[in-house]
């Protein structure tokens, strides 16, 4: 899509280079295999080395841990371009970066950082973030998984549901109730009593492996406890905040891909003896979608620059996640309609984005939850319960 608002003028040379190189790679090498991967529900592991060599895994981490020490806007741009391919690819990157490397870096001991972070940036150690349970993802404080202190470590018991990447991950961050509130622990896939199974029959994010995690008397050594999570649920929420930031950028990437494809399609499509793009109602749809995409991109960039300065509160990220997901889902549905019957075919990509965006709209805080966060900011009243 053209840079209508001239936002590129506000990006550095390094940011433009990163964005354009990911974009080129995504359209040349990733997108062509997405329809089959989606239909067959296969995660394309072959892209992991490329994500690593492009510096996307650990993009914000300091170089001493294998990271690229880049900033928030660079991370956002990477998310935006990756989600043009598929929300599952961006989700994988969000989980690895924001939900797993971030808490290990922020809340882990130096020993545990050295043990896992360099391998994670190389894509040699895949990870998951285990917070949600059957009891309700919108109310994570109510989680039932327990961690009991035992000699030399902790014993974990419980079940997690809807956990991205868990069936193929090497390690996971598990959030569990202790005698002193909710804390984070690193669990390795070969720990006895640990099991992660793919949830079948999913019609969204089919490329990602999203699973159910069972923890049956899993012994986790003291070294794998994240001591900085003494802040309780707010430590888990700080990870979600990082991920939601990337989701806001990613969702507009998916919307842009839908829009570009639909505009090109309509210009080519002849109906009633003329171009479909010449009809007034169709132009209204296009103008609305183009406007929303431009507004969302501008919002994201401003948020990113504020985040880089430490001036982006969580409520701003909630607003961005809410805005980008609502618009992206709406745009994907409108594009699906404008493509007519072709809109339901994976060949045209739009329905895949649309189905994926149903998950993106729900995970990491539903649309309702983000409205309530913004509502609380505006009114001072907490309306969650």
Ligand X SMILES: Cc1cc2nc3c(=O)[nH]c(=O)nc-3n(C[C@H](O)[C@H](O)[C@H](O)COP(=O)(O)OP(=O)(O)OC[C@H]3O[C@@H](n4cnc5c(N)ncnc54)[C@H](O)[C@@H]3O)c2cc1C
- Would you please indicate which residues are annotated as catalytic (active-site) residues? 364
Nearer to ligand X among residue 53 and residue 368 (C-beta) = 368
DSSP of 5-22: T-GGGGS-HHHHHHHHHH
Q: Nearest approach, Cβ of 21 to ligand X (angstroms)?
A: 28
- CA 234 to chain centroid, in Å, comes to 19
Nearer to ligand X among residue 28 and residue 385 (C-beta) = 385
Stretch of residues binding ligand X (CB under 6 A), selected from 160-168, 216-224, 285-293, 307-315? 160-168
Which residue has the CB atom at the shortest distance from ligand X? 137
Q: How many residues does the chain have?
A: 385
User: Using the rule CB under 6 A, is 132 a contact of ligand X?
Assistant: yes
Nearer to ligand X among residue 127 and residue 297 (C-beta) = 127
User: Using the rule CB under 6 A, is 131 a contact of ligand X?
Assistant: yes
User: Using the rule CB under 6 A, is 58 a contact of ligand X?
Assistant: no
User: Using the rule CB under 6 A, is 368 a contact of ligand X?
Assistant: yes
Stretch of residues binding ligand X (CB under 6 A), selected from 136-144, 275-283, 294-302, 342-350? 136-144
Q: Nearest approach, Cβ of 83 to ligand X (angstroms)?
A: 14
User: Using the rule CB under 6 A, is 162 a contact of ligand X?
Assistant: yes
The angle, 0 to 180 degrees and rounded to 10, between the axes of the packed helices 314-338 and 280-308 is 160
Render the burial of 352-377: b for 16+ CB within 10 Å, e for the rest: bbbbbbbbbbbbbbeeebbbbbeeee
Q: Nearest approach, Cβ of 135 to ligand X (angstroms)?
A: 8
The angle, 0 to 180 degrees and rounded to 10, between the axes of the packed helices 314-338 and 350-362 is 150
Q: Nearest approach, Cβ of 130 to ligand X (angstroms)?
A: 6
**Judging by beta carbons within 10 Å of its beta carbon (0-12, 13-18, 19+), is residue 330 exposed, middle or buried?**
middle
- Among 184, 334, 359, 361, which residue sits at the site for ligand X (rule: CB under 6 A)? 359
Read off the tokens for 105: 């870096």
The angle, 0 to 180 degrees and rounded to 10, between the axes of the packed helices 233-268 and 72-85 is 50
CA–CA–CA angle 55, 56, 57 (5° rounding): 95
User: Using the rule CB under 6 A, is 163 a contact of ligand X?
Assistant: yes
# chain residues binding ligand X, by CB under 6 A: 24
Nearer to ligand X among residue 137 and residue 343 (C-beta) = 137
End-to-end CA distance of the chain: 42
Please answer whether residues 65 and 115 qualify as being in contact, where contact means their C-beta atoms are separated by less than 8 angstroms. no
Shortest CA distance to 97 belongs to which of 65, 137, 132? 65
User: Using the rule CB under 6 A, is 82 a contact of ligand X?
Assistant: no
User: Using the rule CB under 6 A, is 366 a contact of ligand X?
Assistant: yes
Nearer to ligand X among residue 128 and residue 299 (C-beta) = 128
Strands 210-221 and 274-275: unpaired
**In terms of DSSP H, where are the helices of the chain?**
13-25, 34-40, 48-53, 72-85, 87-94, 102-107, 110-121, 233-268, 280-308, 314-338, 350-362, 367-379
Nearer to ligand X among residue 175 and residue 249 (C-beta) = 175
CA 180 – CA 174 distance, rounded (Å): 16
Nearer to ligand X among residue 141 and residue 368 (C-beta) = 368
User: Using the rule CB under 6 A, is 87 a contact of ligand X?
Assistant: no
User: Using the rule CB under 6 A, is 129 a contact of ligand X?
Assistant: yes
User: Using the rule CB under 6 A, is 362 a contact of ligand X?
Assistant: yes
Nearer to ligand X among residue 212 and residue 260 (C-beta) = 212
User: Using the rule CB under 6 A, is 256 a contact of ligand X?
Assistant: no
Strands 171-178 and 127-130: parallel
- Among 205, 254, 325, 338, which residue sits at the site for ligand X (rule: CB under 6 A)? 205
- Among 210, 220, 247, 324, which residue sits at the site for ligand X (rule: CB under 6 A)? 210
- Among 369, 374, 375, 377, which residue sits at the site for ligand X (rule: CB under 6 A)? 369
Q: Nearest approach, Cβ of 152 to ligand X (angstroms)?
A: 27
Q: Which residues of this protein are in contact with ligand X, per CB under 6 A?
A: 95, 128-132, 136-138, 162-164, 205, 210, 359, 362-364, 366, 368-369, 372, 384-385
């Amino acid at each position: 899509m053209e840079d209508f608002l001239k936002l590129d003028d506000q990006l550095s040379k390094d940011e433009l280079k990163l964005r354009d190189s990911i974009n080129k790679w995504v359209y040349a090498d990733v997108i062509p295999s997405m329809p089959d991967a989606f239909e067959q529900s296969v995660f394309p592991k072959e892209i992991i080395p490329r994500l690593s060599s492009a510096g996307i895994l650990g993009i914000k981490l300091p170089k001493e841990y294998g990271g690229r020490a880049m900033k928030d806007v660079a991370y956002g741009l990477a998310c935006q371009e990756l989600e043009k391919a598929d929300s599952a690819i961006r989700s994988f990157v969000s989980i690895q970066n924001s939900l797993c490397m971030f808490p290990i870096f922020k809340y882990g001991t130096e020993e545990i950082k050295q043990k896992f972070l360099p391998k994670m940036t190389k894509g040699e150690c895949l990870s998951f973030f285990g917070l949600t349970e059957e009891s309700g993802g919108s109310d994570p404080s109510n989680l039932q998984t327990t961690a009991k202190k035992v000699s030399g470590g902790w014993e974990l018991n419980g079940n997690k549901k809807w956990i991205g990447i868990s069936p193929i991950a090497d390690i996971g961050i598990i959030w569990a109730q202790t005698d002193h509130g909710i804390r984070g622990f690193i669990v390795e896939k070969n720990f006895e009593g640990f099991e992660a199974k793919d949830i079948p029959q999913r019609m969204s994010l089919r490329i990602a492996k999203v699973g159910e995690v069972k923890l049956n008397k899993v012994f986790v050594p003291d070294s794998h406890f994240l001591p900085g999570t003494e802040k309780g649920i707010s430590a888990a929420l700080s990870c979600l905040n990082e991920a939601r930031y990337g989701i806001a950028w990613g969702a507009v990437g998916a919307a842009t891909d839908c829009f570009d494809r639909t505009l090109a399609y309509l210009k080519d499509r002849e109906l009633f003896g003329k171009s479909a793009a010449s009809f007034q109602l169709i132009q209204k749809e296009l103008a609305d979608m183009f406007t929303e995409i431009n507004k969302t991109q501008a919002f994201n960039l401003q948020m990113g620059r504020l985040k880089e300065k430490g001036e982006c509160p969580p409520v701003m990220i909630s607003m961005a996640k809410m805005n980008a997901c609502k618009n992206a889902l709406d745009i994907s549905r409108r594009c699906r309609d404008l493509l007519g019957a072709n809109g339901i075919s994976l060949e045209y990509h739009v329905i895949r984005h649309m189905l994926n965006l149903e998950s993106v709209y729900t995970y990491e805080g539903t649309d309702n939850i983000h409205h309530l966060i913004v509502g609380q900011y505006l009114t001072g009243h907490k309306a969650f319960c």
